[in-house]
Structure formats: C-alpha cells, structure tokens
C-alpha cells in the first residue's frame, strides 16, 4: 500500500481533490497526509481528513507563512485534538530567500516544538538553507518529541546522518528522480530502509517524466521506483517498507 506522507491536495476544491484521490487509489494508494502550512490550510486539511477515508491531516505554521501569523496558537488546539491530526507541521526554518525574520522563525519554530511535546504529536519539518539552526533546536527537544520527519529532504548526506542519530525519518520527494540530484540519491543510498518515507509535495516538484507539470499524489509511485533502483530492490518492497514506516511514526 502506498502512503504519500506529504501532499497539498486539500488546496483544491472537493471535486478536484476527489479526482486526485481517485487517480491515486488504483495504484495501491490509500493513505495520504494533507499538509497544512497556516491556520486556513490546516483547518481545510482536517476537513478533508474527516471527509475521506485514508486521509490524515498535518497542522501547523510553515516558516514562509510566519509574517502573516497573528501569534494565536490557541486556535490550532481544536485541530491538534482532532483524532485525524497525525502530526504538527509543516513547521521549521527557511533561510532560502535570506529573509530578515530569522529570529522570529526560530521563536515560532521552537514554540511549535514545545506544543508538539505537549500534544505528543510527531513533527513534519520544512527546512531550506537552515540545517545547522534546525539541528540545534531538534537536538534540544528530540528526546521529548514523539517523532521527527524531515519532509522533502535536500540536505547533505552528513547532515542526514546527524538527523538519523536523533531518530528522524528522511522523507523523499520527486527530486530524487532528477538526473542531477546526486546528493539526495546519495542520502537514499546511505539511509536505512526503516527510516525512509515517500511523498510528492504536490502540486510542486513533479518527478521525472512529469517534471515541469503540475504534480499529483499518484506520482509518488515514481519516488518509490527510484528508491528501488538506488537500493537495488523490488518496488513493492519499497512501497511496503515506507508505508509501514509512515504508519509507525504517524500512529495510523
């Protein structure tokens, strides 16, 4: 069974979302996480998780959205308490654009880490060009956290080894299928199978051969195929192992 651990399909209308799921399920897909990045998208993720079997929600504030965040964490409590909310995310740090709000990012990320420890939820991490700061905060809290998932991992192999020592899972997106994506291919080759997850991050980052088009939840099969190629395994083995890993970390 395919478990797509990171999708933004809930940004679509209900009709469009159902069409995407109808395309995904015949491939063996049944489990999928709808990922929030602010309050509105997190609330919609919960709504879709309640509407569709096999859909789960991840709720939180992404670093790119913190400038519009009003600081009210209390409105997320109802979302976190929903039984179909399986993680807090996507949260983290993003220095890609050289923003001047790094200090605020650090404050909000740490606050969400504290909330995750309180609600006993795993965390879904978004990180770009901020791995050292991210690692330092994770090292501070990892023993209190219920689980750590590094979504769409694009860091170095050495950094991945450090995260793995904290018990983190490495989630692999369609980037791994890109011909020039040597670093993530190396990470996959060196990451234990029981610490790998698969995702699409749709509608972004469509894998080869769909690169340059809108990504779909069903394209996660291409991620599994590339991991199988790198690991010299059967695709079905990768699908089953990554599904079981996801069920474990998300308590599904």
Domains and CATH numbers, the chain: 2-250 (3.20.20.140)
Burial of residue 101 (CB within 10 Å: 0-12, 13-18, 19+) is middle
**Per-residue pLDDT at 229 exceeds 80:** yes
Give the DSSP letter of residue 13.
-
SS3 at position 34: strand
pLDDT digits (tens, 9 = 90+) for 83-131: 999 999 999 999 998 778 999 999 999 999 999 999 999 999 999 999 9
CA contacts within 13 A on the Cβ side of 109: 27
Mean of pLDDT values over 224-228? 98
pLDDT of residue 97: 84
CA distance 122 to 64: 20
DSSP string computed for 39-104: HHHHHHHHHHHHHSTTEEEEE---GGGGGG--S--GGGHHHHHSTTEEEEEEEEEE-TT--S-HHH
pTM: 0.96
pLDDT digits (tens, 9 = 90+) for 42-68: 999 999 999 999 999 999 999 999 989
pLDDT of residue 159: 98
Q: Which two three-digit tokens encode residue 155?
A: 């860091």
pLDDT digits (tens, 9 = 90+) for 138-196: 999 999 999 999 999 999 999 999 999 999 999 999 999 999 999 999 999 999 999 99
pLDDT of residue 115: 96
pLDDT of residue 143: 96
Mean of pLDDT values over 30-53? 97
- Measured at the CA of 98, the angle between CA 155 and CA 108, to 5 degrees, comes to 80
**Per-residue pLDDT at 199 exceeds 80:** yes
Q: Pairing mode, if any, of strands 85-94 and 148-150? A: unpaired
């Amino acid at each position: 069974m395919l478990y797509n651990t990171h999708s933004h399909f809930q940004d679509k209308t209900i009709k469009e979302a159902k069409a995407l799921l109808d395309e995904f399920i015949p491939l063996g897909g049944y489990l999928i996480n709808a990922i929030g990045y602010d309050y509105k998208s997190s609330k919609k993720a919960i709504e879709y998780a309640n509407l569709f079997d096999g859909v789960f929600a991840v709720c939180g504030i992404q670093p790119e959205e913190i400038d519009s965040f009003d600081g009210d964490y209390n409105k997320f409590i109802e979302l976190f308490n929903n039984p179909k909310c399986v993680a807090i995310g996507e949260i983290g740090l993003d220095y890609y654009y050289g923003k001047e709000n790094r200090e605020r990012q650090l404050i909000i990320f740490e606050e969400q880490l504290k909330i995750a420890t309180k609600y006993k939820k795993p965390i879904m991490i978004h990180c770009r060009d901020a791995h050292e700061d991210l690692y330092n905060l994770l090292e501070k809290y990892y023993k209190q956290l219920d689980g750590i998932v590094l979504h769409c991992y694009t860091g170095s192999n050495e950094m991945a080894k450090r995260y793995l020592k904290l018990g983190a899972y490495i989630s692999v997106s369609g980037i791994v299928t890109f011909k020039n994506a040597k670093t993530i291919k190396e990470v996959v080759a060196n990451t234990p199978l029981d610490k790998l997850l698969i995702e699409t991050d749709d509608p972004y980052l469509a894998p080869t051969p769909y690169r340059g088009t809108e990504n779909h939840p069903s394209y996660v099969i291409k991620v599994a195929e590339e991991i199988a190629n790198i690991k010299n395994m059967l695709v079905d083995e990768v699908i089953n192992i990554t599904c079981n890993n996801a069920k474990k970390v998300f308590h599904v």
